[in-house]
Each structure stands twice: as C-alpha cells, then as structure tokens.
Amino acid sequence: MKKRLLMLLLLPLMAAACFAQESRQDISVSGTGLIPPFIAGNAVQLHANVGYGVLISYRYLLTPRSGLELNYQYAQQVQHYTNPTNNVLIHDRFQEVSGAYVYSFNYRNFNPFLEGGIGGFIYSPIDDNKTQLQNLSQSTNIGALYGGGIAYEISPSFDIRAEYRGLVMKTPSFGLSNYRTNRYYNIYEPTIGVAYHF
C-alpha cells in the first residue's frame, strides 16, 4: 500500500521532470534583409532598396521534428515606381504577420529545417521627405512564405539560426491605380538570429 501511494505521489513529479527536459517551445529574434526583385507590368516598373528589419518568431513543436510557427516582422523600405508619365519614391513600413508549418531534421547540434505557410503583408506609407506623393493608402496583401535554414544549438536553451525565407505576394500600389503592376513577386529574405527554448 505504501509503495503504491509513493508511486502515485511521485508520478506527477516524474512527468514534470520529463516535460522540462523536452523543450517544446521557443522564441527567436532575428535581423532580416528584404531583397525585392525588379518587377514590371501594366506599363509600371517597380524596384525597391534593401529593407533591414526585425523578425520575431514563436515556435511550438508538435513532435520532435514538426512544429507550428507564428511570425511578426517589421522593416522599412523605399519603393521606386516608374511609369510613362512619372518617376516617384515612396518610403514605407513593411509588416508581416504569418503562420507556418516547420519540419526539422536533427543531427547532433545542427538542426536543419524547412518551412511553408501563409501570411498577411502590410505596406504603410511614411509621410516624410523620402515620400514624393501625398494621400497614399495602406496596401494589404495575403501571400505565401517558404524557407529553409539551420539552427546550431549552443546550449540546451539557446541556438543560433540562419535562414533563407521567400515571401510571395502582390506588389503594393498604395491605392494608386497608375502605379499598379498587377504582378506577384518573390521577396528574398536572409535572416540570422538567436532562439531561446523553454
């Protein structure tokens, strides 16, 4: 009887210890570089400078190899539009809110991974001396993200992540029909950061 009672009391402690050894969640902070390609369509040409920003991600592992990830990103860029009658610059803030499925491979301290998902992408014009037009509106797009990278475990709680991400979405027009390309583009995005497991 005493042994059964002791086992009954120790069972929750053993379960808690096992759960604590297996980190199922992590949060990461990364520096990003948004590299949009040149795009042309509808008699409009669009190219933008490289936008540097911050990506914050939360990942929950469903199994040791697969998980779900939520992302928020903030960056700033200058969009350069050219059409037959005009040539303008628009300074904007770019935001991403996305979710993805992540599949990881485990090789000792190296953990390569692949991801794919969907997201909302928001371009908000900034009214400053870099923006050459007024009365612009926010451009909101639904698009896809994909990527792959590697996480190197430096301790049981921390790893360093380097990743290539691709963002596929419609080009922003800021509510101006004469600057609409009617095209989708693929933004290249290298990232590097640190993740904390808990």
Longest dimension (CA), the chain: 90
pLDDT in tens, 66-117: 999 999 999 999 999 999 999 999 999 999 999 999 999 999 999 999 999 9
pLDDT in tens, 33-72: 999 999 999 999 999 999 999 999 999 999 999 999 999 9
Of the CA atoms within 13 Å of residue 86, those in its CB half-sphere come to: 10
Q: Which CATH entry fits the domain spanning 23-197: 2.40.160.20, 1.10.10.10, 3.40.50.1820, 3.40.50.150?
A: 2.40.160.20
Distance CA(84)–CA(61), nearest Å, equals 51
pTM: 0.86
pLDDT in tens, 114-171: 999 999 999 999 999 999 999 999 999 999 999 999 999 999 999 999 999 999 999 9
Phi-psi region of 193 (alpha: psi -120 to 50; beta: other; left: phi over 0): beta
Q: Where are the domains of the chain?
A: 23-197
In the structure, what pLDDT confidence band is assigned to residue 180 with cuts at 50, 70 and 90? Answer: very high
